Amino acid sequence: MLGIGLVNMAVALDQTVVSTALPSIVSELHGFEYYAWVASGYFLASLVTVPVFGRLGDFFGRKRFVIAAVIVFTGASVLCGLAGNMPFLVFARGLQGIGGGMMVGTAFASIPDLFPDPRARIRWQVIMSAAYGIGTAAGPSLGGWLSQHYGWRSTFLVNLPVGILALYFISVHLPTYRRAVEGKVLIDWTGAVLIALVLGGFQIFIEAAANGFTPANLVLGVLIVIGAIALVACERRASHPILPLELFHEPKLVTLFALSVLTGFVMFSLIFFAPLLLQGGFGLTPPQAGLLATPIAVCAAIGSAANTRIVIHLSKPTHILTIGYGLMVLASLGVAWTTSTTPRWTLEVALGGAGIGLGFILNNLNVFAQEIVGRSRVGIATALLQSTRMVGGMLGTSIVAIVINRCYEARIHSILLASAEQPAGTWYARLADPRILVDSSLREVLLSDLHRAGLAGASLVESARLALVSSIHVGVLLTTASGCVALVLVRKIAGIRLHRKEI
């Protein structure tokens, strides 16, 4: 459990450390258009590999895959720290996502092997909660502090000692369990390739659709539909399918998958765009932004620890999900109403509420799904929950980024038309790049050029900050809507109970 907990810490640390350092990374390597891809590249690679290795773990045992995952993840973290441009960083993040997906798909599915009784499993989740809490709580502040004092590259290299420790505990102490599936296993490689193509194409379609529905985008959409149909046909014929279709015959399990998508949408949107709001919109330094973003991580650990004591005593355990999603809706509204004049403690309360909500949601979705499926499918069920959450994260970061970019560009254009004596296009390209709100050196050069042109540079930059804040507010409102949909869906799984099981 220490080894699995360290894997959990590595994943959590990577998500939160990088999110705080991301504005600095984009500022140095250039290319704000890759902002969402630093997150989406990781999610895409992860969600492709999670179900594949989750299923392979069901067939062949999980220990060997967990060890390989830690090695890939740690090595990719080093490559991220060595990146010299944004495309290479996106590639390295994708490789890191492959390792992260392998870890999530196999390490978390090892817990039901260790603890078949769901009530005992929930109690042992305190180790997972502590590991996740340490990683996420330290992440925002650590990411801001490291990026300011040692450069953003150190935020990736911090995964190295955690990965080495995890590798030791897992290789020495994690038992090798006999696989639940007997007989010869024919690996469904065709299904694995189709899953990768469909999910990868879906991500590219989301990004491309931001520029309008061109004929190429429509062709891509048709190909994705054809790929999905081929995937269903392939899995129906496969003797050992990567994606068992019978999982989707259980309405409660399908509802849990949908809730996982919505959780990822809200969670990762807040994690990745709250730092941009604080640094670009409010002008805070990375350490200041990291400190303000810390409550979401700390309170997630607190909520998860409290959940282990609460949920086992509820006659209807799913009530804890209702509370969790309600807190996330309120938190999203709180962020959407925050301006530069709003007291900072109100933002911290909002982010803390989101953290407690996540603590009430994440572990329970896993346990509820594991209660529905048998041991032979616990790996793929757990993996699909992680994959669907990553799909939600991919959708959230991509869609919210598109909305923010479009709103920001439109507002900058309006500001320039209203205030500039020269043609708006003269300054549009520079002011429409949010890096000038994060990078002080770029901002000083722009202010100097505006001053020489006889324009009120400070006023224009301040107007750009207000434009970014209002644009992020619009994006965050999408997370509020997602949380409301989740509140409605929770009612469909009210009948789930936690039954004792013997080893």
pLDDT, position 217: 83
Identify whether residues 277 and 193 lie together within a single domain: no
Residue-wise pLDDT tens digits, 235-259: 888 877 877 888 888 889 999 999 9
Q: What is the mean pLDDT of residues 308-317?
A: 81
How many Å apart are CA 263 and CA 257, to the nearest integer? 10
Residue ranges making up the domain that contains 355: 2-188+238-406+470-493
How many Å apart are CA 261 and CA 482, to the nearest integer? 9
From the list 96, 109, 118, the residue with the least C-alpha distance to 51 is 109
pLDDT, position 318: 87
Tokens representing residue 418 in the block: 């209203």
Q: What is the mean pLDDT of residues 68-95?
A: 88
499 found inside a domain? no
42 found inside a domain? yes
How many Å apart are CA 132 and CA 10, to the nearest integer? 8
Quickly list DSSP for 448-459: HHHHHTT--HHH
pLDDT, position 132: 66
Identify whether residues 356 and 216 lie together within a single domain: no
Confidence of residue 210 (pLDDT cuts 50, 70, 90): low
Identify whether residues 276 and 308 lie together within a single domain: yes
pLDDT, position 351: 87
Domain finish residue from 215, 237, 259 = 237
501 found inside a domain? no
Domain finish residue from 180, 209, 237 = 237
Confidence of residue 474 (pLDDT cuts 50, 70, 90): very high
500 found inside a domain? no
Identify whether residues 352 and 381 lie together within a single domain: yes
Identify whether residues 254 and 367 lie together within a single domain: yes
From the list 369, 392, 307, the residue with the least C-alpha distance to 132 is 307
Q: Which residues are CB-contacts of 408 (< 8 A; sequence separation ≥ 6)?
A: 432, 434, 467, 468, 471
How many Å apart are CA 455 and CA 461, to the nearest integer? 11
Identify whether residues 48 and 119 lie together within a single domain: yes
Identify whether residues 136 and 25 lie together within a single domain: yes
75 found inside a domain? yes
162 found inside a domain? yes
Q: What is the mean pLDDT of residues 22-31?
A: 74
Confidence of residue 26 (pLDDT cuts 50, 70, 90): confident
Is 201 or 179 the better-scoring residue by pLDDT?
201
Residue 98 reports pLDDT greater than 80: yes
From the list 15, 20, 476, the residue with the least C-alpha distance to 279 is 20
Identify whether residues 347 and 315 lie together within a single domain: yes
Identify whether residues 162 and 151 lie together within a single domain: yes
Residue-wise pLDDT tens digits, 393-418: 878 887 888 888 888 888 888 887 77
Residue 129 reports pLDDT greater than 70: no
Residue 482 reports pLDDT greater than 90: yes
Percent of the chain at pLDDT > 70 equals 86
pTM over 0.85: no
Q: What is the mean pLDDT of residues 467-480?
A: 91
Q: Please, what is the average pLDDT of the chain?
A: 81
Burial (CB < 10 A; 0-12, 13-18, 19+), residue 441, is exposed
Instruction: State how far the alpha carbon of 13 is from the alpha carbons of 157, 194, 333, in Å.
Output: 11, 31, 26
Identify whether residues 12 and 102 lie together within a single domain: yes
For 166-172, which contacts have Cβ atoms below 8 Å and span 24 or more sequence positions?
Answer: 166/3, 166/6, 166/7, 166/9, 166/10, 166/70, 167/67, 167/70, 167/71, 167/74, 168/3, 169/2, 169/3, 169/6, 170/3, 170/4, 170/7, 170/63, 170/66, 170/67, 170/70, 170/107, 171/67
How many domains are there within the chain? 3
pLDDT, position 502: 46
Helices 319-336/286-310 angle, 10° precision: 160
Identify whether residues 139 and 206 lie together within a single domain: no
Confidence of residue 104 (pLDDT cuts 50, 70, 90): confident
Tokens representing residue 234 in the block: 């392939």
Helical spans, DSSP H, in 150-250: 154-157, 159-173, 189-209, 215-237
Mean pLDDT comparison of 10-19, 136-145, 370-379, 388-397, highest-scoring range: 388-397
Identify whether residues 197 and 247 lie together within a single domain: no
Residue 470 reports pLDDT greater than 80: yes
How many Å apart are CA 16 and CA 304, to the nearest integer? 17
Residue-wise pLDDT tens digits, 321-339: 999 999 999 999 988 888 8
Residue 141 reports pLDDT greater than 70: no
Domain finish residue from 210, 237, 264 = 237
pLDDT, position 498: 67
pLDDT, position 133: 62
448 found inside a domain? yes
pLDDT, position 211: 61
Question: Domain of 312: which CATH number?
Answer: 1.20.1250.20
Indicate the range of 44-53, 57-66, 161-170, 226-235 predicted with least confidence. 44-53
193 found inside a domain? yes
How many Å apart are CA 154 and CA 21, to the nearest integer? 10
Residue 503 reports pLDDT greater than 60: no
How many Å apart are CA 97 and CA 391, to the nearest integer? 13
Q: What is the mean pLDDT of residues 65-85?
A: 89
